[in-house]
A and B are shown apart, each in its own frame.
Chain A
Amino acid sequence: MVVFIVLYGYLKKIDIYDTFIEGVKESFSMIFNLFPTFIAMILAINIFINSGVLDFILNFFKPLFALIKVPVEVLPLALVRPISGSASLAYLNNIFETKGPDSFIGLLGSVIQGCTDTTFYVVSLYFGSIGIKKIRYSLFASLFADLVGIIASIVVVNLFFN
């Protein structure tokens, strides 16, 4: 992709080097705008995770998951996924290590991880970068999409691999 863009620019007779530098310069102001949002969100998310509230919520939902025959191990993944990408990847790592990537849970975890995104992170990052405070229904709609994705993964993986 890199080579393609550079070659394409060259063939279109553009001053590729200066254009590249110009673009990189713009990234500085962007990063500058991002930093406050970053600190604020990571502070809140880390307090939430490290205090153990998340584990408490997980234990609360366990019986419900047993009812619909979904392995409880994917629950932390599904719950953490919208909040923190690295935390959910860590859970997936853990699942692969203990159950194997080709186990039912391993497959389900892979699909859930693949079809959702770190919604909280993206929403706060994207709105933070342009200084928007009233985000209206965006978080709700994005989380709804994640929920649909998770339900779809459970159904699809059950149909495909069970």
Chain B
Amino acid sequence: MVNIIWMILIVIGSFYGFFTGKLEILNNTIVDSTKISLDMLFKIFPVIALWMGLTKIAEKSHLLEKLSYKLSFILTKLFPDIPKGHEALSLIASNMIANIFGLGSAATPFGLKAMSSLQKLNEKKDTASRSMITFLVVNTSGLTIIPTTIISLRMMYGSLEPTKIVLACIISTTFATIGGIIIDRLLARRYKN
């Protein structure tokens, strides 16, 4: 699957660029992209390092367990494959909490840790497990209640009511999450057979 997407993006892009005479731009893009990826990595590295440090504290002080206990009712319904009380559940809970408050950069390290924890439960190491997919779907469906980045951007451009969009965001994101969970459930059942 990744192979196909990767190939499609590169092949279609290159052919289109070639036939519209953008070869030079393409060449520059190819050379620059490694530099851009390194830049991005350096941008997220400090954030990940900081939050991984803090997560460790939250983990050892049983703060994560406590938080996930509050969410555990929903989470066990969402992730039937994860054994109760497994660390993956508390990491997923932390990721969701960070996402809900619009702390996207704080959510990523929790998410990555949750994934490696789910990988320990996974039987086929090169294939995504059902729990992983559910987690990703919930994660990418937005889940934001306070979209901090957008509110600050709106303020920057002199919006009279920067928070006007919050309720609309919550409603739309709820629909997105529910829609995602439903399709995930349906597909999980289909793929099982």
A interface residue numbers (CB < 8 A to B): 1-2, 5-6, 8-9, 12, 14, 16, 19-24, 26-28, 30-31, 34-35, 38-53, 56, 89, 92-93, 96-97, 100-102, 106-107, 110-120, 122-127, 129-142, 144-149, 151-153, 156-157, 160-161
Q: What size tier do the contact residues of chain B reach?
A: 35 or more
Structural contact, B180 and A20, CB atoms closer than 8 A: no
Give the top 9 A-B pairs by smallest Cβ distance, nearest first: A145-B180, A23-B56, A149-B176, A148-B179, A51-B17, A152-B175, A145-B141, A114-B147, A101-B159
CB–CB A114/B169 < 8 A: yes
> What residues make up the interface of B, taking CB atoms closer than 8 Å to A?
1-3, 5-6, 9-10, 12-14, 16-17, 20, 22, 25-26, 29-30, 32-34, 36-38, 40-41, 45, 48-50, 52-58, 60-63, 103, 106, 108-109, 111-112, 115-116, 118-119, 124-128, 132-133, 136-137, 139-142, 144, 147, 149-150, 153-154, 157-162, 164-165, 167-169, 171-173, 175-180, 183-184, 187-188, 191
B13 near A47: Cβ-Cβ < 8 Å: yes
Distance in Å from the Cβ of A55 to the closest Cβ of chain B? 10
Contact B37 A135 (CB under 8 A): no
Q: Do A138 and B25 touch across chains, with their CB atoms under 8 A apart?
A: no
Q: Is the interface of A mostly helix, strand, loop or mixed?
A: helix
Distance between Cα atoms of A27 and B115 in the complex (Å): 14
Chain B residues near A27: list those with CB within 8 A.
45, 48-49, 52-53, 109
Q: Are B179 and A134 in contact, CB atoms less than 8 angstroms apart? A: no
Q: How far is the CB of B98 from chain A (nearest CB, A)?
A: 8
Contact (A114, B153) CB under 8 Å given A136-B133, A137-B187, A141-B180? no
Judge whether A119 and B140 touch: CB under 8 Å.
Answer: yes
Query: How far, in whole Å, are A80 and B20 apart by their CA atoms in the complex?
Result: 21
Q: Which residues of A contact B25 (CB under 8 A)?
A: 50-51
A27 to B60, CA, bound (A): 17
Q: Which residue of B34, B140, B159 contacts A39 across the interface (Cβ within 8 Å)?
A: B34
Contact among B10, B165, B180 for A144, CB-based, below 8 A = B180
